[in-house]
Amino acid sequence: MPVMNIGPVPQSHDGFYARNNPYQVNGPKGFTEFKLMEENEDLYARFDFPGVTKESLRILVEPLKKAVFVFGDAPKEFRHDSSHRKYGTVTGLVCDCCEISNIQCFVGDGVVRLILSKKKINLHVPFSFGGATMPNVPFLARIINGYNPEVSDIIHGMCADSMVPVAGGHPLAHLRGHNGHNAEGPAFTGPVTLPHPSVLEGSTSAYESKHLPNGGLFLRIDMPGVPNDRFMMTVESDGGITVIGRAPPAMHDSSGREYRGKVAVVPLAYDNRRIKVIAKHGVIRLIIPPF
């Protein structure tokens, strides 16, 4: 019996628990999470960028200090990865009475976390957000023109004094006051998973498999938020390989997340010690040699 991969399958008759990741089994759904910090009206934002390192992250603020652009590179860590990945997203203010005054950024385990602060500005100065004020950012046109309105959590913003997160079908729709969606609603559970809306280059899937020339198997599985020491791999009595990842809550996350799924099958007499596990930046990779 050869080593076989098992692609992601719905976890119940309702579909996947979270359409953003086929292996997520609990915790907040969606590629992003936003929270208004009541004590100071700062906005806390979490973005899943699996594979991204702190050194590769770039934060840019447009000249009027209304929008923040977040870019990150996830290098091709292993020779069997299909390619590197580049991420990009944007968030900002929906009001014309304030500007972004401070940005705190934290990167770890494939997750980018931002705390955005704002301050009042002179209301007598006309507000505009035209092309002349937009920074010359690589891939920005692709973020705007290639946006999928069905995947609206790529872009959120803060509205007026309450700084409530909102989203819309266009990446800058939050600046026009469009309303958002409920990340816990039925749109985030279903029979299919969504492509990662912030991926500008590379795979948009949380899962990748490759049969190797020697008969072995390579697997890449995104589990953003999971520290390197919180990954587990178990081999069941039937030869099924199950991966488990636990992402503890960090900073202002609403809760932690857990990932679990059967990803491959090996012969019953297989020596499990031969399986190489690489856990790094919110991504787990398995290299399973042939029997």
Segments making up each domain of the chain, as ranges: 4-8+204-288, 27-188
Judge: domain 4-8+204-288, CATH 2.60.40.790: yes
DSSP letters spanning 48-70: E-TT--GGG-EEEE-TTSSEEEE
Tens-binned pLDDT, residue by residue, of the chain (291 aa): 688 999 999 988 989 999 999 999 999 999 999 888 877 778 889 999 999 999 999 999 888 888 889 999 999 988 899 999 999 998 877 677 888 899 999 999 999 999 999 888 876 554 433 333 334 444 443 333 333 333 333 333 333 333 333 333 333 333 333 333 345 556 788 899 999 999 999 999 999 999 999 989 999 999 999 999 999 999 988 899 999 999 999 999 999 999 999 999 999 888 888 999 999 999 999 999 998
Q: How many CB atoms lie within 10 A of CB 36?
A: 16
The answer to whether residues 78 and 281 touch, using CB atoms and an 8 Å cutoff, is no
Cβ of 73: how many Cβ atoms within 10 Å? Answer: 19
Contact 112, 177 (CB under 8 A): no
- Identical fold for domains 4-8+204-288 and 27-188, yes or no, is yes
Instruction: Please give the DSSP secondary-structure letter assigned to residue 230.
Output: G
DSSP assigned state of 249: -
Distance, in Å, from the CA atom of 7 to the CA atom of 199, rounded to the nearest integer, reads 21
291 - beta bridge partners?
none
For residue 95, which phi and psi values (nearest 5 degrees)? -105, 160
Q: How far apart are CA 74 and CA 199, in angstroms?
A: 10
239: left (phi over 0), alpha (psi -120 to 50) or beta: left
Topology (CATH level 3) of domain 27-188: Immunoglobulin-like (2.60.40)
Q: Is 227 exposed, middle or buried (0-12, 13-18, 19+ CB in 10 A)?
A: middle
Which positions ≥6 away from 125 have C-beta within 8 Å?
Answer: none
